[in-house]
Amino acid sequence: MISIARSASLSQPHPYPGRLITVEGIDGSGKSTQLLLLDRWLTSRGYPVRFTEWNSSRLVRRAMKRGKKKDLLTPTTFSLLHAVDFADRLTYQIVPPLKAGMIVLADRYVYTAFSRDVARGVHPAWVRSVYSFAPRPDLALYFRVPIEVSLDRLLAGRTKLKYHEAGMDVGLSTDPVDSFRMFQSRVLEIYDQLAEEFGLRVVDATADIPSQQKIVRRLVRDTLRRYEGKRATGSADGA
């Protein structure tokens, strides 16, 4: 792996009273399901929770959709649009709740850009400089799953793979399934490196859903040990 300086913001704990919990993984890893279950569990226990997801800002949604449809996005343009999306979400959906002492659950964070954009050929140091303003999560979970498992899961739920999730824009193969294998293998390799570098907590995403959620809740409990956010009285404290 190329030696790259880590940004100061990702090296130091953020200054806010809230907690930031993020999930990462290749498409088909099941991370979104696990985050949804965590959201429900925390809410049922009275914790103030805010959910946010990748590529959801209204600011760039139209431009992103149009660019994808007409295949106008170069890897660098793709990266910049996602960075704008992230900056907008950080400003309005992540930092304010953290300042208010809430628990923010983020479905994908900067590590998605660090892996996907680099897999598309964007220089890793450039990508990291673009996201240098991002605060470090209190807990970053990485749901690791083999390529074939993720592929089977995706195809079990729909008839075909999405153009960009298969990496068709990279030009690795004209066959979507083969392209998916090659592109997502690149992403997976980078994720493994990021997990070691940034201390992402790896969860075996091939395990059954309840087993994964049990691990997630244990890690979240540890993260919330010194958390002093408001919590409704009389809420259950079950596993």
* Per-residue confidence (pLDDT) for residue 234, from 0 to 100: 43
- Residue 21 — very low, low, confident or very high, per pLDDT cuts 50/70/90? very high
CB atoms < 10 A from the CB of 234, how many?
5
CB atoms < 10 A from the CB of 61, how many?
13
Contact status, residue 107 vs residue 23, Cβ threshold 8 Å: yes
* Per-residue confidence (pLDDT) for residue 69, from 0 to 100: 60
Question: Comparing 74-78, 114-118, 137-141, which segment has the lowest mean pLDDT?
Answer: 74-78
Question: Quick one: average pLDDT of 80-93?
Answer: 92
What separation in angstroms does the CA of 107 have from each of 73, 121, 196? 23, 23, 20
* Per-residue confidence (pLDDT) for residue 65, from 0 to 100: 67
Q: How far apart are alpha carbons 52 and 107 in whole angstroms?
A: 6
* Per-residue confidence (pLDDT) for residue 3, from 0 to 100: 44
Q: What are the residue ranges spanned by the domains of the chain?
A: 18-223
SS3 224: coil
* Per-residue confidence (pLDDT) for residue 30, from 0 to 100: 96
Higher pLDDT, 63 or 147: 147
* Per-residue confidence (pLDDT) for residue 1, from 0 to 100: 41
CATH of domain 18-223: 3.40.50.300
Contact status, residue 187 vs residue 119, Cβ threshold 8 Å: yes
* Predicted TM-score (pTM) of this structure: 0.89
